[in-house]
Amino acid sequence: MRLVFLGTSAAQPTPERGLTCICLEREGEILMFDAGEGAQISYLKSGLGWNKKMKIFVTHLHGDHCIGILGLLQTMTLQNRTQPIEIYGPDGIEEFIASNIKVLNFGLSFPVMITAIREETVVDEKFYIIKACEADHSITSYSYLFEEKDRPGKFFPEKAKKIGIPEGELWHKLQLGKEVQVGSRTVKPSEVLGEKRPGKKIGISGDTRPTKRLEEFFRDCDYLSFDSTFSDELQEKAVETHHSTAKEAAFLAKNANVSNLILTHFSARYNDESVLFEEAKKIHSSVIAARDLLEIEIK
């Protein structure tokens, strides 16, 4: 798994930063969170690929978080994409996309399924779930939590060999946590695997004020990307515009026992985001200031 930040600016792009767009790549699938204007340009630079399994999660319907979906869909059609795309977002997401496609009069080379979401579980796949929690912004907005389901424990080849299990398909099934038959004997995964390993948790805040609900929602995340639009000296403006400061993001991450905090969605007034990084670093021990095309391996 890896996180790829395609855009890290707030409201307006800068020469160094595009508008908000974050991708989580897992097992050949792309989970995209928001797509600001021009997202397809950064996506092209990232080399993530045009025809992979893909889901897009929109936090809210402000232009710097969703307009880029239109260009992305059109570019993917020009790239002859055939894989379907699932899009999730607040009420109005279906009308926004369908109306614009109709007005702009461009066809798609692949199916698009659009779902208006509520809180709680949005997607429940075999190996992960994605949950939503309402954020505190100027319009209806959601934060998202990617939660990997527990993985089978470490596989011990020497134990499998001792039992007499031939290498190959049976080993693979045991690694997936399935029982196998060897002659007249049924071998359970627990005989060749260590204890189950907890899955990873990755949070995406979108635009929001820090809240106690989000603190609980993001509890024990391995990585949390959080709204850090302003520095502490502009805290009043953060309240007025329903955004967060880097300091507030750090306090929330610390209180929620988050392992790694990623600052993003920087106001265009900051040519250098180091002031925000230093502010957060005083509070949380592991802070990353995102930049466009930053890749973070999730180990």
Enzyme catalytic residues: 64
How far apart CA 5 and CA 24 sit, in angstroms, is 9
DSSP string, 132-198: EEE--SSS--EEEEEEEPPBP--B-HHHHHHHTPPSSHHHHHHHTT--EEETTEEEPGGGTB-S-BP
How far apart CA 270 and CA 259 sit, in angstroms, is 26
DSSP string, 199-238: PPEEEE--S----HHHHHHTTT-SEEEEE--B-GGGHHHH
What are the residues facing 202 on neighbouring strands? 146, 223
Q: Which of 77, 55, 74, 58 has the alpha carbon at shortest distance from 66?
A: 58
